[in-house]
A and B are shown apart, each in its own frame.
Chain A
Amino acid sequence: MRYFQPATLDEALAIRRGNDVVPLAGATDVYPARAGRRAWGDPTHKDVLDLSRIEALRGIEDRGDHVRIGALATWTDLIRADLPPLFDGMKRAAREVGGVQVQNRGTVVGNACTASPAGDGIPNLLALDAAFEIEGPSPRLVPAEAFFTGYRATACGPHDIVAAIRIPKREGRGHFVKLGARRYLVISIAMVAAALETDAAGRIVSARIAVGACSAAAGRLPLLEAALPGAPLTDAPALVEPRHLAHLTPIDDIRASAGYRMAAALALVGDALADLSRPAARVA
């Protein structure tokens, strides 16, 4: 097994092109997967492309009309960054990923690239209309909705590297609620991210809402998003209806039943809106 640790993105891309490697950022997904395979007698591992020395991938930067989250930016970097209220949901998610140890190491981009249905960053990225800067044979900017293509599947190709995530700066506030079976270190049974813009009178101008862990890939709620504008924010929780979530396809697993997931998601959407309607809602 080879271990590459290039110092520039160009070198990294060249290695990626020429070898079957697994990119590595914080390694918090890569190591547990390896432990799972090894325990049942598969000690093999692909060659590793460690991105950690590439300075250009670090940091979270305000670029005027958007915020750029570099591929090496950790959840802790996000928690500590000075960001507008639109990012409150993202920050809440950051605080609820694993424990502090995992937050200190795990990256927002790595979470997206794993594309677990239960990835806490993902509904936020969808709700915030994030776009992925993909470097590779054909560099491109891919909107989040096109990036997450299915169960643990993304638009990042075998020769690509995600350099950063761009989040457009808009008015409004973000929020995130997560449901798990214990307080810390818990994979979501269901979670909801929302970004809402309201006018001076407290009416909803725009709403972007996404649900995770209730389908192969997290997804937005277009019907609900269409129903909310114009309504007073305080009325929003009551406007949520089961049909708004009807396109979700939750599954039964060890953590919960499908029916429960659906019911919980419905409740969490209402909770997220209710939290946002309270001025005193605890911001992250």
Chain B
Amino acid sequence: MTRTLTLIVNGEPRTLQAAPFASLADTLREGLHLTGTKVGCDAGDCGACTVLLDGEQVCACLVPTAQAEGRAITTIEGAGPAGLVDRLRESFLAHGAAQCGICTPGMIMAAADVLARDPRAGRAEIEDGLGGVLCRCTGYVKIVEAVLDVARGANAFAAKADAGAAVGARLARVDGRPKVEGTDHFGADHQPEGALWLRLIRSPHASARFALGDLAPVLARHPGLARILTARDIPGENAFGIFPTIKDQPVLADGLVRMRGDPVAALVGTRAAVEGFPDADLPITWEVLPALHGAAAALAEGAPALHRAVPDNVLTRGRLERGDVAEGHAAGAATASVAFETAFVEHAYIEPEAGYARRVGDRIEVTACTQAPVMDQEEVARVLGVPMHAVRIVPTACGGGFGGKLDVSIQPILAVAAWVTGQPVRIVYSRIESMASTTKRHPASIRARMSADGDGRFTAFEMEGDFNTGAYASWGPTVANRVPVHAPGPYRVPHVRNRTRAVYTNDTPAGAFRGFGVPQATLAAETLIDDLAEGLGLDRWTIRRRNALDHGDTTASGQVLHASAGLPQCLDALRDDFLRAQADAEAFNRTSGRVKRGAGIACMWYGCGNTSMSNPSTMRIALRPDGTLTFFNGAVDIGQGSTTVLLQIAADALGLAPDAFESVVGDTDLTPDAGKTSASRQTFVSGNAARLAGEDLRRAILSLANAGPDARLRLEGACLHVENGPASRVIDLTTLSPDETGAVLSGEGRYDPPTTALDANGQGVPYATYGFAAQAAEVEVDTVLGTVRVTRIVAAHDVGRAVNPTLVEGQIHGGIAQGLGLALMEEFIPGRTENLHDYLIPTVGDMPEIVVHLIEDPEPEGPFGAKGVGEPALVATAPAILSAIRHATGARLTRVPVLPHRLHAALHAREAAE
């Protein structure tokens, strides 16, 4: 059912065969191989597919190809009206407006539409014009700035850095140009010729037994299908999972499903066959079982066990005890307690999981989006029953991760399909499939109590938290272990007792999501601090400042912070702003009835790297005889910018400019293991490895040249100049003999952060360093409708050293956007909010003005003093917003998201009580 039609694409008539009802996005991508137009939802909700149709922005996923016939289509690959697209590209690059880059083509096309119509557009017009494109990474701040610059006629140029001056420079992302040109290849953009397609048939039931009937007649009825894979076809172990001892998730369910979305069979065949196959054609009989939704149901007396090995459904218990909480509470002049509830939160990266696998002799290659290539390699090897070295993982550009692409999703089944068919096999998750089947942020039920003495000094903190880890373990144990360490917040508290449980349920698995449980715990603790401030008549800023962890202080796990504990400076940086906002709000509220303003504040801390676990990273730099300088960097850049930051560090350690390097990033055949992109560890852990690699190579060069430590390096083709005053010399690289990798000189660095195991009471050194932050929020509440507008956020973050301030700001902006979503709108409900229409994330119009203060309290252990910021960015925002809502209205909210009807109910409960 195709017809021949002609589209005018970027000014050129393109005639092709296409199904008239196929979406224009699909025809551009699969028919014309113009993959710059991205598909994030296929339903109009994300705008990633925005193109211009006769000069007007449209979602290409909503345009029937037949309706585009004969019409002019402009995509990111086109030059665009009056050079506008090019100017936007440069501006996006210079501003750091593209992080992962998956939304960038759509953003640029939408911006081109606005500016073509209104070349002098202001902020309001730009926001209206970009309102239909979602970005999950940037918080939109730098995007709007980039477009405003073009509207103002400014010509943006990305900064460059000279040798030795890379750290601290606002370098444009080194992988940025393909992102703004639409040539970066994400998972779905790889289109190997002759590939088969794979689609999973998923359970609509959250808990059920099933039996499959005879599949032979089905295959006969659907000639385009090559195979229908079931649990029996998995060559190795039909199980995966993050922890070596907890491989509890099947690649294909074997007679039992534990969640809605569990895969029961995999169709492999032509694209038309796998997409056209009605699931109802699979002979399957279901025996639906009662499902346990929510941790309380799974903990109830007599609840059935989800996994035989865990009869009480408690996957992990976390624990920390210091001092004597009873004594601490008794010493307090005020005590507050809270029960706090949070929801499942979806990562909502704009790129759904996608990629392909191919068999190369006795090896398998999986090319897919991921945050953890080496873990993928291990999982695939086990599932295929082959040795690790038989598996190659080639990460594609990753269109956002935030923790959601740390677990394998498509990798094992793709590998199995390519292995058994011998042909390349592609898969692209639909948005709904991605949301229904992949991990979420753990919903938490937290009960906590905190006391302070008459001066507001904290005397005790205790909490018990249950975290719903869903049907499979994923990162549940990490959450249960990380939370007890962080739960009291970045404060001195002598007496602490924290207990956590990760609980199996029949819900979607909860795994890693920016903050690993710390955002949930911080909401509870910061609520208590506001309670104590109120109870003691202290100002909310003062109580935090008085207790803030400082150099020389001891944490709840007994760790002494010898250096880089910049929370006091963070708080000082926003003090005046916060006190002014507080006073302004109170003055405003005296005369305003319905609309109330408020100011709130919250602090956070976050340990960089894995909790009390070895998590090494290795980096390598090699110089070839022709002068090619290659940085082998195994850290996957998921948009946060590690490719750029690690290069800046390596460059300065070596003493050559960043643009002297080529980078090879995250290919398990080519790069040493850098560990996963998680736990805010890449800048700190891999950064140290990059520094050591740079220093190692420098040492080798200097000793070859017999030069002193201050020598300056210059690389000109195959000539390496070592300038050291009168002792300067030139090394002709062609005269050196290459090693087995082809390098004539190379440097390697390995770093594993120094930590110790935690004892039975959670005491020890779980992290080598911590990031700290304080954020102040200002809100405006419509007390009649219960709606909240966040108007301003001031964020002060101690990052040790901002290796690239533009990228650090970008992380903070994006974290704030996610924190705002967590506070006000995001709630994943299996089966109900599994698309981006019903699951709301902030749009460009929801963002407040953001002021960032970068505090640099150098970490001696960190590369050039740096530590991580990826997760810290998000943690303080939601509690600061809740604090502000409470200041505005008096409503003390203990459940997020604060949807309008929940705030309305809280306000009414107050009215009724008064």
Partner-binding segment picked from A126-134, A167-175, A179-187, A213-221? A179-187
Contact pick for B56, options A104, A260, A268, CB 8 Å: A104
With an 8 A cutoff between CB atoms, is B220 at the interface?
no
Residues of B within 8 A of A38 (CB): 275, 430
A76 to B42, CA, bound (A): 22
Q: Is B312 an interface residue (CB 8 A)?
A: no
A182-B132 contact given A42-B279, A105-B63, CB 8 Å threshold: no
**B61 proximity list for chain A (CB < 8 A):** 31
A 1-41 binary contact with B (CB < 8 Å = 1; else 0): 11101000000000000000000101110011001101111
A195 on interface, CB distance cutoff 8 Å: no
- Is B132 touching A184 in the complex (CB atoms < 8 A)? yes
Q: Judge whether A185 and B132 touch: CB under 8 Å.
A: yes
Interfacial residues of chain B within 33-66, with CB under 8 A of chain A in the complex: 41-45, 47, 50, 53, 56-59, 61-64, 66
Other-chain contact of A99, B42, B131, B201, B904 (Cβ < 8 Å): B131
Chain B residues within an 8 Å CB radius of A76? 56
* CB <8 Å contact, B785 and A185: no
A102 proximal to B (CB < 8 A): yes
A56 within 8 A of B: no
Q: Which of A42, A185, A257 makes the CB contact (< 8 A) with B278?
A: A42
Q: Is B132 a contact partner of A3 (Cβ separation < 8 A)?
A: no
Assess the A184–B64 pair: CB atoms within 8 A: no
Bound complex: CA of A259 vs CA of B899, how far in Å? 14
Q: In the docked arrangement, what's the CA distance between A5 and B3, Å?
A: 12
**B787 is an interface residue with CB less than 8 A from chain A:** yes
Report yes or no: A3 in contact with B66, Cβ–Cβ below 8 A. Answer: yes
Mark out the residues of chain B between 264 and 286 whose CB falls within 8 Å of any chain A CB in the assembled complex. Answer: 275-280
List chain B residues, Cβ under 8 A from A182.
Answer: 825, 840, 842-843, 845-846
Asked whether any CB of chain B lies closer than 8 Å to the CB of A45, the reply is yes
Chain B neighbourhood of A1, CB < 8 A: 1, 21
Contact of B20 among A5, A40, A101 (CB under 8 A): A5
Q: Closest residue to B132 on the A side, CB-wise?
A: A99
Most buried by B among A2, A32, A42, A179: A32
Is A189's CB within 8 Å of the partner chain B? yes
Q: Which of B161-169, B295-303, B830-838 contacts A (4 or more CB under 8 A)?
A: B830-838
Q: B residues within 8 A CB of A254?
A: 827, 829, 832-833, 838
- B432: chain A residues within 8 A (beta carbon): 35-36, 39-40
A139 to B275, CA, bound (A): 40
> Quick one: closest B residue to A44, CB to CB?
B278
B824 neighbours in A (Cβ, 8 Å): 181
**Complex-state Cα separation, A5 to B431, whole angstroms:** 29
Q: Does B128 contact A (CB under 8 A)?
A: yes
List of A residues within 8 angstroms of B202 by Cβ: 40-41
Q: Which residue of the partner chain, among B41, B44, B843, contacts A183 with CB atoms under 8 Å? A: B843
> Could you tell me the distance in whole angstroms from the C-beta of A106 to the nearest C-beta in chain B?
9
Most chain A beta-carbon contacts within 10 A, residue among B47, B64, B275, B837: B64
Contact B62 A27 (CB under 8 A): yes
Contact call A104/B827, Cβ cutoff below 8 A: no
Of residues 24 through 82 on chain A, the ones whose CB sits less than 8 Å from some CB of chain B are 24, 26-28, 31-32, 35-36, 38-45, 48, 50, 52, 76
How many residues of chain B are within 8 Å of chain A by beta carbon? 69
- Asked if B47 and A101 sit within 8 Å, CB to CB, the answer is yes
What A residues does B204 contact at CB under 8 A?
40
Chain A residue numbers with a CB within 8 Å of B132 are 98-102, 184-185
| A184 pairs with B50, CB closer than 8 A | no
Cβ contact within 8 Å between A184 and B1? no
Is there an interface contact between A31 and B843, defined as CB atoms closer than 8 Å?
Answer: no
Contacts of A187 in B (CB 8 A): 837-838
**Distance A24 CA – B64 CA, assembled complex (angstroms):** 10
B844 is an interface residue with CB less than 8 A from chain A: yes
A101 in contact with B50 (CB, 8 Å): yes
Q: Which chain A residues (227-284) contact chain B, with CB distance < 8 Å?
A: 254-257, 259-261, 263-264, 267-268
Interface centre among A24, A101, A105, A189 (most CB of B within 10 A): A101
Residue B133 at the A interface, CB < 8 A?
yes
A100: contacting residue among B131, B835, B840, CB under 8 A: B131
Binary contact track A126-165/B, C-beta < 8 Å → 1, others 0:
0000000000000000000000000000000000000000
- Interface check B412, CB cutoff 8 A: no
Residues of A at the B interface (CB closer than 8 Å) are 1-3, 5, 24, 26-28, 31-32, 35-36, 38-45, 48, 50, 52, 76, 95, 98-102, 104-105, 179, 181-187, 189, 254-257, 259-261, 263-264, 267-268
- Name 14 interchain pairs, CB-CB below 8 A, sorted by A: A27-B64, A32-B43, A32-B44, A41-B201, A41-B279, A42-B278, A50-B20, A101-B59, A102-B44, A105-B58, A254-B832, A254-B833, A255-B838, A256-B899
Interface residues of B (CB under 8 A from A): 1, 19-21, 23, 41-45, 47, 50, 53, 56-59, 61-64, 66-67, 110, 113, 128-129, 131-134, 201-202, 204, 275-280, 430-433, 436, 784-787, 824-825, 827, 829, 832-833, 835, 837-838, 840, 842-846, 899-901, 904-905
6 closest A-B pairs by CB: A99-B132, A41-B279, A183-B845, A184-B131, A260-B901, A39-B432
18 additional A-B pairs beyond A27-B64, A36-B835, beta carbons within 8 Å, are A3-B64, A5-B66, A26-B62, A27-B63, A31-B42, A31-B61, A35-B432, A40-B202, A43-B278, A45-B21, A48-B21, A98-B132, A99-B132, A100-B131, A101-B59, A181-B824, A182-B846, A184-B845
